[in-house]
């Protein structure tokens, strides 16, 4: 069964307690987008948000670093108990082996993020160190963008490469995960779907009803 990771930048912070309390019972990860306004032209969540969130959940947190100097965030995020630290390939290159040692020493997971235009060859030298590969099916930085179907070729490539080389990383998709795209994402080989506005938070004002609709959409996609 595919795992689910709500993107908390899309939630209604005015209903934080209500939504988190329910999502804690049904979700596999929480996806935390950290943007500094430089790597992408947007600013969202922060390590401070993670510190506050930790008091309300035991769900593993995946910190997606869209910042200019992501390596500087690694140790502070580990100190906060983040389970997965996901860095874009363009910024992880040159640091991957050292960052992997730092993360794995704390018993946590390293992730790499692939933009729609990122060549897969960029991550080959350290793919065996990776726990989760996130494939962006939109350009990074903003919610609600148009689905880039060509990115699914990267998902298929990763699935084949994993099987051929007997690796254990999970494949995660970030961007436009909703009822219109689920079937293609699952067919391509997604293990984790990051769900935001269109896949979860805009389906209904009641979070339980939103999750019920999400599960209905996924069930239909798997038939």
Residues 6+ apart with CB under 8 A from 24: 56, 57, 58, 59
Scan for tokens 């309390």, then name that residue: 21
Q: What is the mean pLDDT of residues 103-110?
A: 98
In this prediction, residue 44 carries a pLDDT of: 66
Selecting among 62, 131, 174, 191, the annotated active-site residue is 174
Q: Where are the alpha helices (DSSP H) in the chain?
A: 16-23, 47-53, 71-79, 89-92, 96-105, 152-165, 182-188, 207-221
In this prediction, residue 219 carries a pLDDT of: 96
In this prediction, residue 139 carries a pLDDT of: 84
Selecting among 33, 62, 131, 191, the annotated active-site residue is 33
Residue 45: pLDDT band (50, 70, 90) is: confident
Scan for tokens 């306004």, then name that residue: 37
Question: Tokens in use for 73?
Answer: 């965030």
Is 33 catalytic? The answer is yes
Residue 1: pLDDT band (50, 70, 90) is: confident
CB burial of 6-25 (b: ≥16 within 10 Å; e: otherwise) equals bbbbbbeeeeeeebbebbee
Q: What is the mean pLDDT of residues 91-119?
A: 96
What pTM did the predictor assign? 0.94
Tens digits of residue pLDDT in 149-207: 999 999 999 999 999 999 999 999 999 999 999 999 999 999 999 999 999 999 999 99
In this prediction, residue 39 carries a pLDDT of: 55
In this prediction, residue 72 carries a pLDDT of: 94
Output the average pLDDT for the chain: 93
| Domains along the sequence of the chain with CATH | 3-221 (3.20.20.70)
Residue 16: pLDDT band (50, 70, 90) is: very high
In this prediction, residue 146 carries a pLDDT of: 83
Q: What is the mean pLDDT of residues 18-40?
A: 88
Is 174 catalytic? The answer is yes
Question: Cβ distance 96 to 126 under 8 Å?
Answer: yes
DSSP H/E element including 22: helix 16-23
In this prediction, residue 141 carries a pLDDT of: 56
Question: Tokens in use for 85?
Answer: 């630290």
Percent of the chain topping pLDDT 90: 87
């Amino acid at each position: 069964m595919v795992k689910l990771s709500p993107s908390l930048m899309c939630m209604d912070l005015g209903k934080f307690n209500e939504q988190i309390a329910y999502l804690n019972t049904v979700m596999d990860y929480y996806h935390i987008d950290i943007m500094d306004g430089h790597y992408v032209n947007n600013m969202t969540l922060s390590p401070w948000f993670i510190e506050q969130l930790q008091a309300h959940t035991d769900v593993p947190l995946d910190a997606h670093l869209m910042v200019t100097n992501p390596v500087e965030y690694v140790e502070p995020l580990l100190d906060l108990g983040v389970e997965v630290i996901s860095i874009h390939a363009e910024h992880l290159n040159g640091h991957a082996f050292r960052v992997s040692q730092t993360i794995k020493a704390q018993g946590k997971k390293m992730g790499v993020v692939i933009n729609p235009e990122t060549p897969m060859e960029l991550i080959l030298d350290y793919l065996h160190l990776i726990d989760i590969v996130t494939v962006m099916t939109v350009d990074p930085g903003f919610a609600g963008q148009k689905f880039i179907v060509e990115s699914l070729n990267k998902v298929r490539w990763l699935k084949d490469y994993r099987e051929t080389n007997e690796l254990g990383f999970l494949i995660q998709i970030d961007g436009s995960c909703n009822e219109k795209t689920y079937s293609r994402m699952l067919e391509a080989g997604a293990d984790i779907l990051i769900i935001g506005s269109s896949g979860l938070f805009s389906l209904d004002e009641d979070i339980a009803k939103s999750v019920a609709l999400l599960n209905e959409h996924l069930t239909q996609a798997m038939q």
